[in-house]
Amino acid sequence: QLQLQESGPGLVKPSETVSLTCSVSGGSISGSTYYWGWIRQPPGKGLEWIGSIYNRGNTYYNPSLKSRVTISVDTSKNQFSLRLSSVTAADTAVYSCARHGWGSSDWDWGQGTLVTVSS
């Protein structure tokens, strides 16, 4: 059974870069026909797609975040990562990783990790 687990710092200072990793078990990222994505949800608010990576290198980003986001894959560790730069309090959210298709399949989600931006 596919499992995804996010890891990273729970607290980040404003203007810094937050780096999160999603470890995948029960399935291989390498050669997968799925997308591997990041989604966030500010406390008490809705879901926002951050971006996804496909086929080891093709990346797709939310236009509103594109200038600050980098998603990459480490197939040797079966992990993919998110870097979000120049964070502000508005970036405080639960960040979740997921495996998904492009509309034509289920999403499999990690449990999510809360990232708080505060000095």
Partner 1 sequence: QTVVTQEPSFSVSPGGTVTLTCGLTSGSVSTGHSPNWFHQTPGQTPRTLIYSTNTRSSGVPDRFSGSILGNKAALTITGAQADDESNYYCVLYTGSGIVFGGGTRLTVL
**CA-closest candidate to residue 18, choices 70, 63, 62:** 70
**Residue tagged 């996010």 (tokens):** 6
* Contacts of partner 1 in 52-81 (CB under 8 A): 52, 60-64
When binding is defined by CB under 8 A, the residue of 30, 75, 86, 111 that contacts partner 1 is 111
Distance CA 101, CA 106 (A): 7
Of 117, 118, 105, 95, the closest CA to residue 38 belongs to 95
Q: Is 26 in the site for partner 1 (CB under 8 A)?
A: no
Determine if 9 is a binding residue for partner 1 (CB under 8 A): no
The count of chain residues that interact with partner 1, using the rule CB under 8 A, is: 25
Of 27 and 112, which has the nearer Cβ to partner 1?
112
Under rule CB under 8 A, residue 103 binds partner 1:
yes
Q: How many CB atoms lie within 10 A of CB 106?
A: 10
Contact 38, 52 (CB under 8 A): yes
Report, in Å, the least distance between residue 117 CB and partner 1. Answer: 21
Residue numbers at the binding site for partner 1 (CB under 8 A): 37, 39, 46-49, 51-52, 60-64, 96, 101-107, 109-112
